[in-house]
């Protein structure tokens, strides 16, 4: 790099720090809002966030930014790896941001805010018709958004508007890949689930609903965080309505949980899940700490890490071989009769249910598949909005074998369509599928079960850190998969994992 | 107002919102930092705060800001009250900020950061000599700072550099006023304290140190917040190392406390004190909510409100006539033998002690007086830095009648000199004195004792809200005093209050 270019890189980084400081502060306000901020301040808070967002956007789309990117683009071959990836990532966002007119951004924000309010009311009342006009507005907005990003999409075969939306949440993801993926799930998992439900096995899991006071559950949270290896000096556990994780850079990655007194297991798996997200953020290489690359690379890869720690580790017998007695000691004498085997069966019980976020490991992706199929129908124009509840219910019957009693427990259950975040659902399922692909690659190098039984999660984390975590946003999802597993996304691993696991557990 | 001027006011307010959003976010980061943020993120957090502070400063001192203020200044007689006060406040800060060179600001920040580290070490070791060179640097910085703000101060009789510093914390406050104030304290309170200590009364207060679990103390916090009338929908109680309050605007005013298991009273008065700060912020008129006027007007007035709720209300017999039984019910059977009278005497016990922040209501201001006298000697050049420990110890002996065993418990105890915040101490004591002046004015209109005995703090708060709280930063401290009490600051009320209270309690 020439001295001149070095200076440009330095000035560019200083400029990015201004954007990042505003983003950091806005995240802090969001975190505060979700962890107990006084309701009275909601309106002021929304106003402040609006101003911060506008400051962020102004800096991100400024002439000065354009000029930095122009110069760096001309010299991209001379840049260091980190400098190049910084340019690459910022340029991608810049090219996107400058395509969105400010007025559209405001229209989007106003409409989705209103749509969200109407969705909440409609959901409460189970009244889809009340939400339908707002859903239509949101669909229209999403189509226009896709058109701004990729004006040719509507008329081209290679990238449809829905592809544009998918790419927003999972860079590189397309309908072609997802069609193949979900076809495989339909073909392999739907019949597997049917074989299990047909067996109609009766399990006594009443102990799972015994009351466990919040104070005791807090101790379980600590046990889980320490067992899984979450670095609490660079993190924090808080409480919120719905569990989530949030990163303020690799040295400050926080998680939240929610305690249900009569469902202590809910907290255990929330903590393991959110620790997975947070450990991904904590294990990035020091070189990219606090830079724009200091974030996980996509929703799908992020979810792959949370699902790895929650399901592949957290629902394995080997993990509980190590932890069960310690958990039981915390739970106390009320749980004297609970056996390790009974607990293991209970946390791996599968049965079709109506609500996605409460679904078990096997049925979860089927919920996503239904959402994906509906979104495809919406965006290729073959479904009327008014038919969506019926289509939802039909698919639930077909894949899960159960009846949907009302739209509250059906098509209205999830917030995403009220936010116009079409295309985001698939990444939840891709996470589990990526996790399985990582799992089989890891198994070639590490004896996972004996590591877990010995309480050595570190060896597993070291593998993930080396292949995935350390890169932050320096690699695209596909690059990470190839780097870690030697091949592109391959859905076979996921169906194989589910089949091996559930045929063994259910003895079918 | 002409249409043109209206437009300027509107644009000015929109410009201010950008500054306020950054300030709001930075406060949120500070709040987070003091309420459990992971240590691992300290460095990144400091860096982000530095960038936010620089963004804030750039916007506040920009040409655009100067131009707004020039136009508004030319039309100030045409502005509405709120618009005029906004202009007045922003202009005051602007005129100050543009006088401080950016390099000086950085030097100040770097030197005080280092001085703070050296002070911590020196305090721990009780080694004043190790801190002395940094204290000298800080004194020099403070003198230069005063000189930037008021270049003539060093050579003028009417406003010395120390007056400039005092005005930073308490607008309008001067050494002339403080000399008279502290002279009165010396004359009236020092002998009063001596009469009490000479009486040498033995009180059994061992029950005050009985262990009260944190969970029980949390319930006491709730009782106190509700009794005092703190609006928890627009506020929140959290825990931190040292109790504090912080306002994010009138609809979000938070407090923190710290639980000491063997000193349950500490939390009670921390909560009442911080509620006083927060209620001042909550009771501002709606018209100024979220504007730059949506903050208390000075350190001294702020402290007057916290001290009013903590001491004048919280340590009165009438307040406990209403609350004592409820508090006792929360404390449980361990406190069966505690009587209301015994509790009242215990929370109003006075005895000279070494540490300012642990001092009781009567002796507190004497600690401040000593600090004030030393700061005067520092800034008029009649004390060598090396003599400060000796001077401190002599004054403690003279006013409090006790010996200082080492500098850790003496001159090194407080952080303020390591931050170069000379001139800030007096406002702590002024708060109590203002509170007493408000108290006697209020007494003419309200039967305070029967309101409290009836659990009706609202009547008292309504008086304070109407005379003080509602104005936020629209009035200077002196204007508020005259508005509420009909006269300027008059220290007689404070000495009268202390004499009446303590002669009665101690029967002297």
Residues A74-94: tens digit of each pLDDT: 999 999 999 999 999 999 999
DSSP code at position A308: I
Contact call for A40 and B233, based on CB within 8 A: yes
What are the tokens at B120?
Answer: 């911590």
Does A296 score more than 70 pLDDT? yes
* B157 pLDDT tier (thresholds 50, 70, 90): low
Q: What is the pLDDT of residues A259-290, one digit of tens each?
A: 999 999 999 999 999 999 999 999 999 999 99
> What is the rounded average pLDDT of the residues B110-118?
90
Residues contacting residue B204 through CB under 8 Å, at least 6 positions apart:
B342
- Judged by CB atoms closer than 8 Å, whether chains meet at B25 and A20 is answered as no
Distance CA A168, CA A148 (A): 13
Query: In this structure, are residues A485 and A441 in contact, taking their beta carbons and an 8 Å threshold?
Result: yes
pLDDT attached to residue A110: 87
The per-residue pLDDT for B317 is 98
Report pLDDT digits (tens) over A179-196: 999 999 999 999 999 999
Counting Cβ atoms within 10 Å, is residue A198 exposed (0-12), middle (13-18) or buried (19+)? exposed
Chain B residues with beta carbon closer than 8 angstroms to that of A45: 248, 252
Tell me the count of A-B CB pairs closer than 8 A. 116
Q: How far is it, in rounded angstroms, from Cα A19 to Cα A59?
A: 7
> In which band, very low, low, confident or very high, does the pLDDT at A157 lie, cut at 50, 70 and 90?
low
Q: How far, in Å, CA of A505 to CA of A500, rounded?
A: 9
Q: A224, A271 in Cβ contact below 8 A?
A: yes
CB-CB contact of B300 with B477 (8 Å): yes
Of A155-159, B35-39, B379-383, the one with minimum mean pLDDT is A155-159
Mean pLDDT along residues B229-251: 96
Cβ contact B248–A55 (<8 Å)? no
Binning pLDDT at 50, 70 and 90, where does residue B109 land? Answer: confident
DSSP string across B79-138:
S-HHHHHHHHHHHHHHHHHTTS-HHHHHHHHHHHHHHHHHHHHHHHHT-HHHHHHHHHHH
Residues 6+ apart with CB under 8 A from B483: B467, B475
For A366-379, what is each residue's pLDDT tens digit? 999 999 999 999 99
List the single residue in A18, A44, A52 with the smallest CB-CB distance to B252: A44
Which residue carries 């309101």 as its tokens? Answer: B451
Q: Is B214 on the interface with A (CB under 8 A)?
A: no
Which helix or strand (DSSP H or E) is residue B194 part of? helix B175-199
Range 38-77 of A in CB contact (< 8 A) with B = 38-41, 43-45, 47-48, 51-52, 55
* Subunit contact A48:B236, Cβ cutoff 8 A: no
- Whole-angstrom Cα distance, residue B151 to residue B148? 6
Average pLDDT value over all residues in chain B: 96
* pLDDT tier at A326, thresholds 50, 70, 90: very high
For the cut 90, the answer to whether the pLDDT of residue B9 exceeds it is yes
Given a contact cutoff of 8 angstroms between Cβ atoms, the answer to whether B365 and B432 are in contact is: yes
pLDDT in tens, A111-156: 998 999 899 999 999 999 999 999 999 999 999 999 999 987 766 6
Partner A contacted by B18 (CB < 8 A): yes
The three-state (H, E, C) secondary structure of A215-254, written as one string? HHHHHHHHHHHHHHCCCHHHCCEEECCCCCEEECCCCCEE
Those of residues 227-256 in A touching chain B at CB distance below 8 A are: 231-236, 248-249, 251-252, 254
Question: Which of helix, strand or coil describes residue A121?
Answer: helix
ipTM: 0.92
Cα atoms in the Cβ-side hemisphere of radius 13 Å centred on B471: 23
Among A25, A41, A248, select the one facing B249 at the smallest CB separation: A41
B contacts of A36 (beta carbons < 8 Å): 236
pLDDT recorded at residue B231: 98
Residue that has been written with the tokens 């006594």 in this structure:
A204
Q: Does B110 score more than 90 pLDDT?
A: no
Please state, in angstroms and rounded to a whole number, the distance separating the CA atoms of residues B220 and B216: 7
Q: Inter-chain contact A251–B41, Cβ cutoff 8 Å?
A: yes
Mean pLDDT, residues B484-496 taken together: 98
A155-159, A444-448, B46-50: which has the minimum mean pLDDT?
Answer: A155-159
Torsion region of A184: left, alpha or beta (phi above 0 gives left; psi -120 to 50 gives alpha): alpha
Percent of chain A with pLDDT over 70: 99
In this prediction, residues A194-199 reach a mean pLDDT of 95
Of A149, A179, A152, A177, nearest in space to A165 by CA? A149
At B106, the pLDDT band (50, 70, 90 cuts) reads confident
Q: What is the DSSP string of A358-394?
A: G--TTTHHHHHHHHHHHHHHHHTT-S-GGGHHHHHHH
B168, B274, B281, B375: which one is catalytic? B274
Chain mean position to CA B437: 17
pLDDT tens digits, residue range B423-445?
999 999 999 999 999 999 999 99
In this predicted structure, the answer to whether residue B415 has a pLDDT above a threshold of 70 is: yes
Distance from CA of A70 to the nearest CA of B (A): 25
Q: Look at residue B154 and tell me whether its pLDDT is greater than 80.
A: no
Q: Least CB-CB distance to A21: which of B43, B51, B232?
A: B51
Q: Which pTM value belongs to this model? A: 0.93
Residue of A nearest to B40 (CA): A234
B-facing residues of A in 273-292 (CB < 8 A) are: 289-290
Residue B155: what pLDDT?
67
């Amino acid at each position: 790099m020439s001295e001149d270019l070095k200076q440009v890189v330095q000035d560019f980084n200083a400029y990015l720090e201004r954007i990042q400081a505003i983003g950091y502060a806005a995240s802090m306000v969001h975190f505060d809002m979700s962890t107990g901020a006084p309701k009275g301040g909601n309106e002021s808070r929304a106003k402040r966030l609006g101003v911060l967002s506008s400051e962020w956007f102004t800096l991100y789309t400024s002439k000065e930014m354009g000029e930095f990117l122009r110069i760096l683009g001309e010299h991209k071959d001379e840049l260091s790896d980190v400098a190049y990836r910084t340019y690459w990532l910022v340029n991608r966002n810049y090219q996107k941001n400058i395509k969105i007119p400010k007025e559209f951004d405001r229209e989007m924000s106003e409409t989705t805010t209103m749509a969200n309010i109407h969705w909440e009311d409609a959901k409460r009342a189970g009244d889809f018709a009340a939400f339908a006009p707002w859903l239509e507005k949101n669909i229209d907005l999403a189509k226009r958004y896709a058109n701004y990003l990729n004006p040719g999409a509507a008329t081209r075969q290679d990238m449809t508007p829905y592809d544009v939306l998918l790419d927003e949440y999972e860079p590189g993801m397309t309908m072609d890949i997802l069609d193949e993926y979900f076809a495989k799930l339909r073909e392999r998992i739907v019949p597997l689930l049917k074989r299990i439900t047909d067996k109609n096995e009766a399990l006594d899991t009443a102990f799972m609903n015994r009351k466990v006071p919040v104070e005791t559950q807090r101790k379980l949270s600590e046990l889980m965080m320490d067992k899984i290896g979450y670095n609490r000096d660079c993190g924090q556990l808080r409480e919120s309505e719905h569990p989530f994780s949030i990163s303020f850079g690799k040295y400050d990655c926080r998680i939240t949980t929610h305690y249900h007194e009569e469902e202590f297991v809910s907290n255990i798996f929330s903590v393991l899940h959110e620790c997975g997200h947070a450990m991904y953020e904590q294990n990035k290489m020091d070189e990219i700490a606090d830079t724009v690359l200091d974030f996980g690379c996509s929703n799908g890869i992020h979810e792959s890490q949370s699902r790895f720690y929650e399901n592949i580790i957290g629902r394995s017998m080997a993990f509980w071989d190590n932890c069960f007695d310690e958990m039981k000691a915390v739970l106390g004498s009320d749980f004297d009769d609970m056996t390790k085997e009974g607990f293991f069966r209970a946390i791996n019980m599968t049965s079709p249910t109506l609500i996605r976020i409460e679904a078990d490991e096997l049925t979860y992706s089927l919920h996503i598949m239904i959402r994906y199929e509906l979104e495809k129908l919406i965006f290729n124009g073959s479904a009327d909005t008014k038919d969506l509840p019926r289509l939802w219910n039909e698919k639930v019957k077909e894949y899960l074998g159960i009846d949907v009693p009302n739209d509250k427990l059906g098509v209205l259950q999830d917030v995403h369509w009220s936010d116009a975040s079409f295309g985001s659902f698939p990444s939840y399922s891709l996470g589990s599928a990526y996790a399985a692909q990582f799992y089989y690659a890891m198994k070639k190098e590490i004896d996972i079960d004996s590591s877990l039984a010995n309480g050595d999660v570190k060896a597993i984390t070291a593998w993930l850190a080396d292949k995935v975590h350390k890169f932050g946003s320096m690699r695209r999802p596909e690059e990470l998969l190839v780097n870690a597993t030697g091949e592109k996304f391959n859905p076979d691993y996921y169906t194989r994992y589910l089949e091996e696991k559930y045929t063994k557990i259910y003895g079918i």
